Chain A
Amino acid sequence: MRPETALGPSEVEAPAPPPGPATASLPSRETTSARDRARGLVRWESALVILLVATVLIGALTSRQFLTSTNIFSNVCLLYGELAIMTLPMTLVILAGEIDLSIASILALSSSLVGYLWENHWPMPLIMVCVLGVGLVCGAFNGILVTRFGLPSLAVTIGTKTLYAGIAEIVLGPAIITNFPSGYTTIGVNPFPGTHQLLSYSAVFFIVLAVIFGIVLHATSFGRSVVAIGWNKEAAQFAGIRVKRVKTLLYMVSGLMGSLAGILYTFRLSTAESDNGVDLVLPVIAVVLLGGVSIFGGKGTLVGVILGLLVYCGLQSALLLTNFNANALEIVTGGLLLLSVLIPNAGELTARARRFMNRYRVSGTS
């Protein structure tokens, strides 16, 4: 009494579900064969390794300064520590099939709060706890809007990105706070002790967090849930995974990392300003996608993202050393972002071109 289902691995043209409120937050993908995908990922990470080696070589060749510990400390670890930290939760959020455009605004908000509360003579430890809490709340708000209200994360986080940046402006206004105690601002000047002058405090934070995130993603049931949700939310639900809870947690972690980054950023620059770091959202997403994580969710590894991060930082610092126009660096970032989404689709592009050609050969109706 049932219509047959199509046998075999078939195609897009099956009848679609009846009209109703749209459900996709990000566009959906067409499935490719499993083996191709596995090969694809390994190929991607290998390409990144090659790219990294090439970048390091070119950097070392064009500037003797490139491989010095000063360079690595000042122009890599210091500059990109906060960005690196933010890529970790962003990886998980994108793997789960969502996106968080507001993370950099949470950074800005946190920075503003640090400045504001410090101006009002709050003790610094309390400030940090408070600010981290605010980050959690901001993330929870994102999570609730996306899971309870069922709103598309793209639109929601465009809204909250604006909202949080706006609150940052309200909190601090035009003020610029700079009188932070040197005990804290030392992280912007001195490397973390015991690392041979190489790693900044933020870099150390990043390494520790990267290990934690890596274990969580690849070796816990939570991580398995995240990946399953990204590939197929419905099937994950049917397997008893609490999709809403997982996604809300991811957003809360994202908010927490954003505020952690905000605190570090503020101390590093010894400046709290209401638009601190707001522009970092693009590089964070660019690095994650460069690392081989699919914008549609499910596919990707943390190792890939770390490789992507290294390539990105290497490229940027090499360019800086050669007096490349600093403003053009953003073009490089934007270009990398585009390339990392174009390349996976390149296969499809040629396939579609071929099909297009075929259609002209096989046409022929009455």
Chain B
Amino acid sequence: MSALPDAVEGAGTEAGSGSRRLADVIFRVREFGIIAVLLVFVAITSAIQPRFIDVQNIKFVFFNAVLFALLALGETMVVLTRNIDLSVSSVLGLSAYLSAHLFSQVHGVPIVVVFLAGLVIGLACGVVNGAITAVARVPSLVVTLATLYIFRALDVIIVGGGMVVASTLPNSFLAITTSSVGAVPYLAIVIAAVVLAGAFYLRSFRSGRELYAIGSNPAAATLAGIPTGKRIFSAFVISGGIAGIAGVLWAATYGTIDSTAGYGYELTVVAAVVVGGVNIFGGSGTVTGAALGALLLATINQALYVLGISSFWDLAIDGFLIVVAISLDHWISVRLTSALRKRSLQHAT
């Protein structure tokens, strides 16, 4: 064997920064990629149908996007920990009806109280999900599949055959979603701020980072002393609370609420999250990505509508995107790991 080369000191840094750049690029690409696809989509659609970029359409896009971006925020926190919350749509429906119903029950109830009611309903549902998943250690897929149906059934029972009609709701309430600054609804700005706040939390606070750790390597997380049960429980409670608020917003947007409010939304939320780059196994991804994913899906929906393609394509496209996004992510992850490993090996010998 040849004599040892003198310590190749700089090797660590070279490999390090090169690899970091590679990994960073991959992650950033996702968010820019979504924006790029979004722009391309808008460009093509408005070329075919110039009416697409008028104020009305943009408003509709923001309506949808706002709701899903909010739901995506909560779902992301759960998915980061290697769990899933399928019950968000049922929580939304329950909260939408009950909170709007409050207006006819309690005359002159302040809007803030209604929002609070929705929040509490959502938190309660989140507590159920979180307790069974984190404390009883039941897989969250099973738990939230069950609560998806249980909460929805509760909703159906409570609503009976009735519904809340827009005329019973105060105008100030219904105006929440329509009041805008130019073409951009005021609400969209608020939600964007909330999403950014969420992103900030996940990036800059210990408990936020711990969510990533739990999803990245659950065994190591426990060994490192992270209170995994507590964190997972909190993630579900927050997801529930957010779905509760989203329910109230849904009521404010659509005005008429029956027992089908939000039906099927959980699939779109999962699609937004997955398309937005959050790994379905947890450990990586950002809420901004997920929110952008929601924006993309809402844009696609609206574009299809404007182009005269029936809304029956929505579901199929969501499903297709989920499959593609998961496959792509997996492929990237495998490639990235072997590329990073090869770089390490090269610099070590």
Contacts and interface: CB of A to CB of B under 8 A. Distances in A.
B274 A155 contact: yes
Interface string B142-163: 1101111110111011000000
Contacts of A328: 153, 157
A164 B141 contact: no
Given A327-B153, A345-B136, A349-B136, A163 B320 contact: yes
Q: Which of B136, B317, B333 has the most CB of A within 10 A?
A: B136
Given A16-B219, A152-B280, A166 B313 contact: yes
Nearest to B312: A169
Contact of B157 (A13, A164, A285, A325): A325
Nearest to A329: B153
**Top 9 A-B pairs ranked by shortest CB distance?**
A166-B316, A163-B319, A162-B319, A166-B315, A159-B322, A334-B150, A330-B153, A159-B323, A169-B312
B319 A164 contact: yes
Contacts of A335: 146, 150
A158 B315 contact: no
A334 B136 contact: no
A337 B323 contact: no
A34 interface: no
Given A145-B323, A165-B315, A26 B141 contact: yes
17 contacts: A12-B219, A19-B337, A22-B281, A27-B139, A155-B280, A159-B322, A159-B326, A161-B267, A165-B316, A286-B146, A295-B139, A328-B153, A330-B156, A337-B145, A338-B143, A338-B146, A349-B136
Candidate in B138, B148, B220, B319 with the most chain A CB atoms within 10 angstroms: B319
Contacts of A289: 142
B83 to A, nearest CB: 9
A149 B333 CA distance: 12
Nearest to A12: B219
Q: Chain A CB within 10 Å — which of B84, B271, B315 has the most? A: B315
A158 B269 CA distance: 12
A348 B136 CA distance: 9
Contacts of B316: 162-163, 165-167, 169-170
A40 interface: no
Nearest to B325: A159
A342 B132 contact: yes
A170 B312 contact: yes
A19 B147 CA distance: 34
Contacts of A27: 139
A345 B138 contact: yes
B217 interface: yes
B330 interface: yes
A160 B323 contact: yes
Contacts of A162: 267, 271, 315-316, 318-319, 322
B223 interface: yes
A254 to B, nearest CB: 17
Interface residues of B, number: 52
Given A21-B330, A162-B267, A330 B314 contact: no
Interface string B235-248: 00000000000000
A174 B310 CA distance: 10
Interface of B: 82, 84, 132, 135-139, 141-143, 145-150, 152-154, 156-157, 217, 219-220, 223, 267, 270-271, 274, 280-281, 283, 310, 312-320, 322-323, 326-327, 330-331, 333-334, 337
A53 interface: no
B331 to A, nearest CB: 8
Contact of A334 (B153, B271, B326): B153
Given A161-B319, A341-B138, A342-B136, A331 B330 contact: no
Interface of A: 12-13, 16, 19-22, 24, 26-27, 99, 145, 149-152, 154-156, 158-167, 169-170, 173-174, 274, 279, 282, 285-286, 289, 295, 325, 327-331, 333-335, 337-338, 341-342, 345, 348-349
A335 to B, nearest CB: 7
B208 to A, nearest CB: 20
A325 B156 CA distance: 10
A275 to B, nearest CB: 9
Given A12-B219, A330-B153, A334-B150, A156 B141 contact: no
A342 B334 CA distance: 35
Contacts of A169: 312-313, 315-316
Given A159-B319, A166-B316, A341 B142 contact: yes
Nearest to B145: A282
B156 to A, nearest CB: 4
Nearest to A164: B319
Contacts of A170: 310, 312-313, 316
Contacts of B319: 159-166
Contacts of B157: 325, 327-328, 331
Nearest to B324: A159
Contact of A331 (B154, B281, B315): B154
Nearest to A336: B146
A158 B135 CA distance: 25
Contacts of A22: 82, 281, 283
A20 B313 CA distance: 37
B138 A166 contact: no
Nearest to B259: A327
Contacts of A159: 271, 274, 319-320, 322-323, 326
Contacts of A163: 315-316, 318-320, 322-323
Contacts of A149: 327, 330-331
A13 B157 CA distance: 47
Nearest to B79: A155
Given A170-B316, A348-B137, A334 B149 contact: yes
Which residue, of A20, A21, A160, has the highest number of chain B Cβ atoms within 10 A? A21
B137 A345 contact: yes
A279 B138 CA distance: 22
A335 B153 CA distance: 11
Contacts of B82: 22
B219 to A, nearest CB: 5
Contacts of B318: 162-163, 166
Contact of A156 (B149, B219, B323): B323
Contacts of B223: 13
